[in-house]
Structure 1
Amino acid sequence: MESNPPLPAPNDLAATWAFLENGIDQIMNRLEEGLSYKRYMDLYTGIYNYCTSSRMNPGFASEPLAGPGSNLNNNRGANLMGSDLYQNLQRYLERHLFTIRENSTQYMDENLLRYYTRHWEKYTTASSYVHHVFRYLNRHWVKREIDEGRKTVYDVYTLTLVSWREHMFKHVERHVMTAVLKLIERQRNGETVETGLVKSVVESFVALGLDDADSSKSTLDVYKDHFERPFVEASEVYYKKESEKFVSENSVTDYMKKAETRLSEEENRVKMYLHTSTNKPLITTCEAVLVKNHTDIMWDEFQNLLNMDKLDDLHRMYSLLSRIPEGLDPLRTRFEEHVRKAGLSAIEKIADQGGETMEPKTYVDALLEVHRKYNDMVTTAFRGEAGFVASLDKACREFVNRNNVCKSSTSKSPELLARFCDSLLRKSAKNPEEGDLEDVLNNIMTVFKYVEDKDVFQKFYSKMLAKRLVNGTSASEDAESSMISKLKEACGFEYTSKLQRMFTDMGLSKDLNDQFKDRFSTDAGDQQVDFSVLVLGTASWPLQPSTTNFIIPEEVEKTFHKFKMFYQNKHSGRKLNWLFHLSKGELKTNYLKASKTTYTFQVSTYQMGILLQYNKDTTYTFEELSQSTDLNAEVLSGQLGILVKAKVLLLSNGAVGEPGSRYDLHMDFKSKKVRIQLNVPVKSEQKVEVEETHKTVEEDRKLLMQAAIVRIMKTRKTMKHVALVNEVISQLSNRFKPKIPDIKKCIDVLLEKEYLERVEGQKDMFSYVA
């Protein structure tokens, strides 16, 4: 059974301290034997009795004994009597720690760490018990001393930590840190070590960080000064030596793997047993030694990795260099140049076919292939980092607008892109499925994003859309709408407003035709003519007027005049301009006596006008056909050439288009097809149309530049020449890239028209004329 010594007299300091020291010694050295609640309460009561002793307070009657949790209000005695006990406790802790310190001298390295951490854990556990035993002293005497500004007085638990710091830590910390650094170095060298020892040392260093100004607060000063600083310095030395040796003996890619592993290990080391605040200084130091000191060799290796498409190594290099300031800048520059060269090379390979005859699909696919490859690289290797995305965009903009195919004109890319759109959206057996078509249209928009001359694309696209709608060759109305929506999203409402108006006109024309047919369906003699008209707004449709006169064949003349009257009655004041060169029809053959087959000729209106003449006779001269159709010589020659080539007409005299040449109806015409397409474009007309489109673009650009200049000057009132030019370029760059000489010409035009004037006495300054 435990033998508890009797409580000492309340006013006997020597007896009281001897009683307390015996108990404290048991807590500090033999806590594992156990401390009964009775023993604990006796120690607490001994302190209470001494602090409230009436020897120092004559006439003061002691209150009944209370436990550690009681609220004792009378503390006059405690305020006077606590000093002796506090000082005795201080001296005891000093003696106790001296013994521990002396015994530590026989240990080194890992054994020293075991000794230090074992005694630290035992000491701090015992200290918390002692703190509770002295709870009455803490609440009263200690509190009053602290309130009065005594910097050398602490609550008992803090006193135990201060004592450890003064009488143990300061004497052994260098030996402890030497042992810790050796242990960590062994772990870095691949050995398995007891990491719990380092964790306990770290916890003790952190716990000893007490604020001298306010003992109730803790700081990391001890940990920072005595652990973190030497640890980070040792890490720097270790990795500097290791990295330099490794680089000299291994490849750059192997070094990057090593550096990546080491950085990961250090980040895990912080999580395992260091204080979280060490992460930044440690990793920053390691990044400087492992990455920054070796940037040159990584930058030099980057081009080789690009050439060989080493995505894993590229990502590793990106991850390492992204850790240091400006580490990625040279990579972005080299990546941009590499992609630009790859794009130019890809176009050069297919440019042998010649820019003029380049197949749009081949061209667009080549552009997309390069973009797809390097966009995937940016996504996977560079994690979609904004700087690499910008480098990719710059490179793509260069090779899309300035390549071998675009030598003659930067407008070639948007033209070919528009032609590729046309081939996809026009009815064809080669058209992709609806889901695949949407993907292809999205790919087209990827290229479109990089096209500088978006106005050129718009012109060609609108002309081709007009042809698809007029000729009824659109593959899908949904696909047409989808493409226009994509263009609208990319360039805004104004860019696609005319395109959307075309579809509106098509719907109105259908309603108009239905009304016309309902109105005249009962008229006799009209059943042989299936007549349909598209009424299209001049402002929205890019359709050129006919370049020749034309006499409407009498077979359709009656219906033609009926529609004119019907439309004028419905819309008085509107004028219809007939575009016969865009019209078409079908004719059935009734003249082939030897053949039982009836053929259907799909013809242009001009071809219809020529062939219907052969209802009256079987042979005509060039001059006779010119007179009966009123077509000019150039157009008539082109149409006759197609009919002669198809052997519908036979040339019996002279050459096609020559004066005096004669054209006979081929009475023995035969074909494997029942429906023969004769309405094919004349190549010379196609070339002229392309030239006219480019010419229209140039004219439109002049107007756009003038409008932009007026708009800017109206807002700013006065402006310097250079500032005005830059503002015009900025405002129009989403449509096309204005050339400075063209802007200057537009400014001169506006000066002549007196929209602007030069400011007197100020060089290159313009003002707006209201």
Structure 2
Amino acid sequence: MTDPLDTTWATIQTGVDVILNDFEAGLTYEKYMALYTTIYNYCTSLKGNPSSISGSLQQKGANLMGADLYKKLKDHLKGHLISLMKEHDGNNDALLQFYTVQWEKYTRAGTYIHHVFKYLNRHWVKREIDEGHKHIYDINTLALVSWRDHLFMLIQAKIMDAVLLLIERQRNGETIEQSLIKNVVDSFVALGLDENDSTKATLDVYKLYFEQPFIAATELYYKSESETFLSDNSITDYMKKAEKRLEEEDVRVQLFLHESSKKPLISKCEAVLIKSHTLAIQDEFQQLLNQDQVEDLKRMYGLLSRVPEGLDKLRVIFETHVRRQGDAAVEKVAEAAANAASAEGGDAAAGGGEGGDEEEEKPKPKKKGKPTAPGADVAVDPKVYVEALLEVHKKYNELVMNAFRGESGFVSSLDKACKEFVNRNKVCNVGSSKSPELLAKFCDSLLRKSSKVAEDREVEEILNSIMTVFKYVEDKDVFQKFYSKMLAKRLVNSTSASDDAEASMISKLKEACGFEYTSKLQRMFTDMSLSKDLNDSFREQMEKTHEKDDVLDFSIYVLNTACWPLQASASGFNVPEDLVKTYERFQGFYQQKHSGRKLNWHFLLSKGELKANYCKASKTGYTYQLSTFQMGILLQYNTALKYSWEDLLGATGLNPETLASQMAMLAKAKVLLISDGTMGSAGSKYELNLNFKSPRVRINFNIPGKTEAKAETEETHKTIEEDRKLLIQAAIVRIMKTRKVLKNQILMTEVLNQLASRFKPKVSDIKKCIEILIDKEYIERKEGEADMFSYLA
């Protein structure tokens, strides 16, 4: 009797062979449906072996009739693959061609067979899998498992040798058929099956049989290539080579490798191409910096940023380099200023003398001024100095942004270097207060009406640049003090170029240092506005109560003493008779308006104009622009043409030093002529020069000399030192009030931290302030513990 299984399988086998060998030519739709129906009929019949593949189930049912068919198909696939193995006899490319062609053909056939056996999959296979029977797969997976076990495992080593050889040829510059590698990789990925869950896939086969040997071969290839290349080429050429190789490997992953290989592959390439040569690459960094090789620096950063700690050494070198460049830039400025000072001194010293008894008077060589010693306090142009600092910062900030991609470590190195050369350089000499002083003076030159810079460039852009330098300044209190003094002069003398620019600068300072830093500066503008209203009120009252000819063109600024850094003159002063009426009228007007307030007159800062009609050389006369003290001197000459030194001292009420400094400009311009002595000497006489003449109609004599400017700078620094002592004491008291008991070292640290935003206190100054507070009984030393302080309520 014929076995139904044999009869059924004979029919099915014919169809399966057609699918496996040439289904496109031999498998029609009718044949496909006939094959499907045969399998369906067999599985749903009650005849045949009613047992499962495990032999443990003895019940009837359609889902139990598939074990024999499954086994028949499994054995047939195995036989088919064994026969395929006999067909291949090539190596390398021929082997890959054979493998990829057969793989594509087989996997497509497996898909069709899977559909033909769909009923078996839906019932018997599903039941077996649900009951936990391992090694039972859906038909498509069975086809892959069969390929893996009966073909792939036998030739995978040869396949990988051929693939690696092909990739090596590509790395050597040959053109290869990339699809071969792509198809092999796809097959390795597809063969990764989860033994515990046949419905899931893994990358185990790909990782073990492809990725591991591929990465190992890559390591060997690049290790050999890099060592050989470095022995014959420069580091810069090697970096280009390494960068190119890394790009190639990245593209290789995208073209024909599984994406999971990217990280291990690139990591291995980075280790071989970069990490193993890190020191050699780092050693080239200084040379590239010296030569401003931005592209090579960018390439070096891109490579070394890939490896751990690859950039650490570069950051240190970069910081040192930037600081050296900053110091060098400032040194050039200092040398230029010193040379200018020497040349000026030489011109002043050069001059002929009388020939004496020499037979022939020879021309004397022009003397050179005494060279300025390194580090000496030379008159540096604030604009030149600040622009030198900015130029260095701009250059290396652009390098950080472009070559180092704004990486935080390099930004920090740049900031540290800039902070060093801004605060400690040739111009700063010993302390760090010179930079903020010069920065404030540069601001003053920019914001004054006479500023040429403001005409050439946008003020806002320059103010932003100034804030860049300001960020690095340690002694921000020095800048604040100088800036406030110069702002006060600009406002009082009406020499500010733009209220908008002034407001913008204060806004930037407020943003950088907080409200408290700029509160007094903002109050100055408030006082100026209030003073304008006050002047308008006074002028209206004078027009109502006095004749027009009896009222001088007069304006005054009433300023809050606590907010304005103005020093009253130490000298007395007798208000000239011509000004007394206006002086007394305003005094009365103000007291009436603000009872109880006291006005302190700053005559040293006052100024005015006099009409000079006495000069024989001018029919229309001249207008003199003078300080109030100079006005007091010249108005004396309305009653006489000549005065002695003693007469002027008594008439003006000025002290000798102030009188001499105010008369110096008048004498230098020959408004006054000195006779019978020298300036400021007893018995000397001063006569009004009736023959005075000038090419200008308006002449300004109210110009402070270098001596006065230097004295004012020194006075400002003294004020800063006094303010610092108070700030340090206030900080100590605040800390001790909060902590009650504190060790000396901790107290020092906290004081430094609290004041760091304004200035960097010296440890010696903190110690002195502690002693002052002990004397004032704010704090005391704990008995038996010299380094411990306690707060006294």
Scaled to the shorter chain, the TM-score interval is over 0.9
SS in 1 for 2:707: helix
Structure 1 counterpart of 2:83: 99
| 2:100 maps to 1:117 | yes
Q: Is the 8 A contact 2:192 2:203 kept in 1?
A: yes
Structure 2 counterpart of 1:12: 4
| 2:411 maps to 1:389 | yes
| 2:454 maps to 1:445 | no
Q: 1:157 to 1:379 in 2, by over 3 A?
A: same
Out of 642, 646, 652, the position equivalent to 1:619 is 642
SS in 1 for 2:643: strand
Quick one: distance in 1 between partners of 2:71 and 2:49? 21
Q: Which amino acid aligns with 1:511?
A: D
The 10-residue stretch of structure 1 (34-43 or 133-142) with the greater mean CA deviation from structure 2:
34-43
* Correspondence 1:177-576 to 2 at 5 A: 177-352=160-335, 353-354=337-338, 355-428=377-450, 430-433=452-455, 436-522=458-544, 523-524=546-547, 526-527=549-550, 529-576=552-599
Quick one: distance in 2 between partners of 1:346 and 1:497? 35
| 2:119 maps to 1:136 | yes
Displacement of 1:528 after TM fit?
5.5
Q: 1:521 to 1:598 in 2, by over 3 A?
A: same
SS in 1 for 2:691: coil
Structure 2 counterpart of 1:32: 24
Quick one: distance in 2 between partners of 1:675 and 1:521? 28
Displacement of 1:711 after TM fit?
2.1
Displacement of 1:698 after TM fit?
1.0
Structure 2 counterpart of 1:3: none
CA-to-partner distance for each residue in 1:556-605, whole Å, 9 max, x for gaps? Answer: 11111111111111111111000000000000012235631310000000
Quick one: distance in 2 between partners of 1:29 and 1:525? 123
Displacement of 1:431 after TM fit?
3.6
Q: Is the 8 A contact 2:91 2:162 kept in 1?
A: yes
Displacement of 1:34 after TM fit?
4.4
Q: Which amino acid aligns with 1:36?
A: T
Q: 1:112 to 1:763 in 2, by over 3 A?
A: farther
Quick one: distance in 2 between partners of 1:139 and 1:76? 17
SS in 2 for 1:631: coil
Residue identity over aligned pairs, in percent, reads: 63
CA-to-partner distance for each residue in 1:354-380, whole Å, 9 max, x for gaps? Answer: 433111111112111111111121122
SS in 1 for 2:512: helix
Quick one: distance in 1 between partners of 2:35 and 2:220? 53
Q: Is the 8 A contact 2:334 2:378 kept in 1?
A: no
Displacement of 1:41 after TM fit?
1.6
Q: 1:527 to 1:534 in 2, by over 3 A?
A: same
Quick one: distance in 2 between partners of 1:762 and 1:204? 81
The 10-residue stretch of structure 1 (77-86 or 753-762) with the greater mean CA deviation from structure 2:
753-762
SS in 2 for 1:404: coil
Q: Is the 8 A contact 1:419 1:461 kept in 2?
A: yes
Q: Is the 8 A contact 2:617 2:692 kept in 1?
A: no
Structure 1 counterpart of 2:630: 607
SS in 1 for 2:742: strand
CA-to-partner distance for each residue in 1:487-520, whole Å, 9 max, x for gaps? Answer: 1111111111111111110010001000100111
Structure 2 counterpart of 1:50: 42
Out of 10, 14, 18, the position equivalent to 1:22 is 14
Q: 1:436 to 1:315 in 2, by over 3 A?
A: same
Quick one: distance in 1 between partners of 2:283 and 2:325? 19
Q: Is the 8 A contact 2:569 2:604 kept in 1?
A: yes
Q: Which amino acid aligns with 2:622?
A: Y
Structure 2 counterpart of 1:710: 733
Displacement of 1:37 after TM fit?
2.1
Structure 2 counterpart of 1:82: 66
Q: 1:395 to 1:454 in 2, by over 3 A?
A: same
| 2:738 maps to 1:746 | no
Structure 2 counterpart of 1:4: none
SS in 2 for 1:535: coil
Structure 1 counterpart of 2:361: none
Structure 1 counterpart of 2:674: 651
Quick one: distance in 1 between partners of 2:560 and 2:26? 104
Quick one: distance in 1 between partners of 2:743 and 2:72? 88
Q: 1:580 to 1:228 in 2, by over 3 A?
A: same
Structure 2 counterpart of 1:584: 607
Q: Is the 8 A contact 2:612 2:622 kept in 1?
A: yes
The 10-residue stretch of structure 1 (399-408 or 713-722) with the greater mean CA deviation from structure 2:
713-722
State TM-score, norm by structure 1.
Answer: 0.94
SS in 1 for 2:626: strand
Displacement of 1:526 after TM fit?
4.8
Q: Is the 8 A contact 2:424 2:430 kept in 1?
A: no
Q: Is the 8 A contact 2:400 2:407 kept in 1?
A: yes
Structure 2 counterpart of 1:167: 150
SS in 2 for 1:243: helix
SS in 2 for 1:170: helix
Displacement of 1:525 after TM fit?
5.8
Q: Is the 8 A contact 1:637 1:657 kept in 2?
A: yes
Q: Which amino acid aligns with 1:122?
A: K
Displacement of 1:540 after TM fit?
0.6
CA-to-partner distance for each residue in 1:54-89, whole Å, 9 max, x for gaps? Answer: 23699xxxxxxxxxxxxxxxx952332111111111
Q: Is the 8 A contact 2:5 2:48 kept in 1?
A: no
Q: 1:760 to 1:203 in 2, by over 3 A?
A: farther
Aligned length: 745
Displacement of 1:710 after TM fit?
2.1
Quick one: distance in 2 between partners of 1:166 and 1:407? 82
Unaligned runs of 5+ in 1: 1-7, 59-74
Displacement of 1:396 after TM fit?
1.0
Aligned-residue Cα RMSD (Å) equals 1.7
Q: Is the 8 A contact 2:46 2:62 kept in 1?
A: no
Displacement of 1:386 after TM fit?
1.1
Q: Which amino acid aligns with 2:493?
A: N
CA-to-partner distance for each residue in 1:173-216, whole Å, 9 max, x for gaps? Answer: 00000000000000000000000000000000000110111111
Structure 1 counterpart of 2:342: none
Quick one: distance in 2 between partners of 1:55 and 1:168? 36
Q: 1:401 to 1:57 in 2, by over 3 A?
A: closer
Q: Is the 8 A contact 1:56 1:77 kept in 2?
A: no
Q: Is the 8 A contact 2:46 2:60 kept in 1?
A: no
| 2:699 maps to 1:676 | yes
CA-to-partner distance for each residue in 1:94-152, whole Å, 9 max, x for gaps? Answer: 10111112222x01001100100111111110101111111111111111111111011
Quick one: distance in 2 between partners of 1:246 and 1:341? 34
Q: Which amino acid aligns with 1:587?
A: L
Q: 1:645 to 1:76 in 2, by over 3 A?
A: farther
Displacement of 1:732 after TM fit?
1.3
Structure 2 counterpart of 1:64: none
Displacement of 1:716 after TM fit?
2.9
SS in 1 for 2:427: helix
Quick one: distance in 2 between partners of 1:103 and 1:760? 102
Q: 1:717 to 1:46 in 2, by over 3 A?
A: farther
